[in-house]
Amino acid sequence: MAFARFIGIALRYGATPALQGLDLSTERGEIFCLLGASGSGKTTLLKIAGGFLAPDAGRVELDGQDITRLPPWQRPVNTMFQSYALFPHMTVAENIGFGLRRMGMRGAALKTRVAELLTLVRLDGFAERRIDTISGGQQQRVALARSLARRPKLLLLDEPFSALDRNLREETRTDLLRLLRDLDITSIIVTHDQEEALSSADRIGVLRAGRLEQVGTPAAVYEHPVNRYVAEFLGAATLLPGTVIGGADELVRIALNCGTEMVVRGNARAGERVLLGVRPENVVASATGSLVGVVETILYRGATQEITLRLPDGSVLRMARPVQRGALPPQPGARLHVAIPLDAGMLLRD
């Protein structure tokens, strides 16, 4: 049962379309991650969900109610802003209590609820602090508590970790996700960081130029991208061009431009120009491998080493493999046989 639904949402800024007939549904309690490059329309969608922008066409429904025309202050939706947007002239408690006061909550009830929220984000004792006297990580938690205070049906998080230092991000993310799951909050997180999206969400949606390219679980989208854009946006991938020469039963045989024939799962017409995509970690060195290349560079990355191979047609194949202690890495210039297992190959089109 869809809980938050965006139906045919379209919006233009002047002549430039920001969103073009976008459809999206999220489930109750789901953490949905909207992933896209800057300018892809993800912030626009968030503003439409929050009520700050009215779409030119389409509807927004929440829990069966059409909220498209509701102003922000009447929506059961709250936003955690990228810059946090904490009110500088108020204390931590006043910030968290702001939305509650707008609901008419006062006195002891207000105090109790604010204290509860402070505990929730582990900021007990910070109630009377001024916003400019607390750290960035603490500000992030105040912003979260403030956006949770009114128990929104839908929580919107705009790049929730982008203002934090890298080493603080991991910890904060784990905390936030646990909290969202504990409270069973339906949330949409907007981010441009693919790693963040993959590790945070129940499902992700990849947005490109105002259209959703693909929606699915992180594993599904990562392992079975529908096209070249999604494959490349969600992490390193080598794409080898080739031509379909046959196939049957969900299997396709491709003649790669480098001269090798490979089989991947999927459907395609014979003669179609396609791409064979493969993630570096799925390329395996094998004496019987049908692909042969010359080692060009070897990058040491701590846990893994990344090797680039030059194939006969000049294209480059990237592979990553665990560093084996004591084993000698291949030397630049050496010939290396590699294989792409059947399940690792991704059939892609441009």
Partner 1 sequence: MTRSRFLTAWLLGGLLFLYGPIAVLVATSFNASSLMTEWTGFSLRWYRALLHDRTLIDAALLSLRIAAVAATGATVLGGLAGFALARMPNLAGRRTMAGLLAAPLVLPDLLIGLSLLLLFVASEMLLGVPNGRGAGTVAIAHATMCLSYVAVVVEARLAAGGTVLEMAAMDLGAGPVMAFLRITLPLMAPALVSGWLLAFTLSLDDVVVASFTSGPGATTLPMVVYSTLRLGPTPVLNALATVVLALAAGAAAAIWVLGRRGEAAAG
The residues that touch partner 1, with contacts defined as CB under 8 A, are: 50-52, 71-74, 77-79, 81, 83, 85-89, 98-99, 102-103, 131-132, 146-147, 149-150
- Of the two residues 84 and 233, which places its CB atom closer to partner 1 in the complex? 84
CA 86, 91, 97 angle in degrees (round to 5)?
75
CB of 141 to partner 1, least distance (A): 16
Q: Are strands 251-256 and 261-265 parallel, antiparallel or unpaired?
A: antiparallel
What's 327's DSSP letter? P
**Tokens 């493969």 correspond to what residue?**
278
- Of the two residues 46 and 204, which places its CB atom closer to partner 1 in the complex? 46
CB of 132 to partner 1, least distance (A): 6
CB of 238 to partner 1, least distance (A): 41
Tokens of residue 300, six digits: 């040491």
273-278 sheet: strands from edge to edge = 261-265, 251-256, 238-248, 273-278, 346-348
Report the number of secondary-structure helices (H) and strands (E) in the chain: 8, 20
DSSP 221-257: HHHS-SSHHHHHHTS--EEEEEEEEEEETTEEEEEET
CB of 109 to partner 1, least distance (A): 16
- Of the two residues 143 and 295, which places its CB atom closer to partner 1 in the complex? 143
CB of 170 to partner 1, least distance (A): 26
- Of the two residues 88 and 326, which places its CB atom closer to partner 1 in the complex? 88
Rounded CA gap, 344 and 281, in Å?
9
- Of the two residues 149 and 307, which places its CB atom closer to partner 1 in the complex? 149
Tokens of residue 107, six digits: 């006195």
- Total residues found in the chain within this entry: 350
- Of the two residues 79 and 140, which places its CB atom closer to partner 1 in the complex? 79
CB of 99 to partner 1, least distance (A): 3
- Of the two residues 131 and 348, which places its CB atom closer to partner 1 in the complex? 131
Give the residue ranges of DSSP H helices in 162-307: 166-183, 194-200, 218-223, 228-233
CB of 37 to partner 1, least distance (A): 22
Rounded CA gap, 4 and 60, in Å?
7
344, 281 contact by CB (below 8 A): no
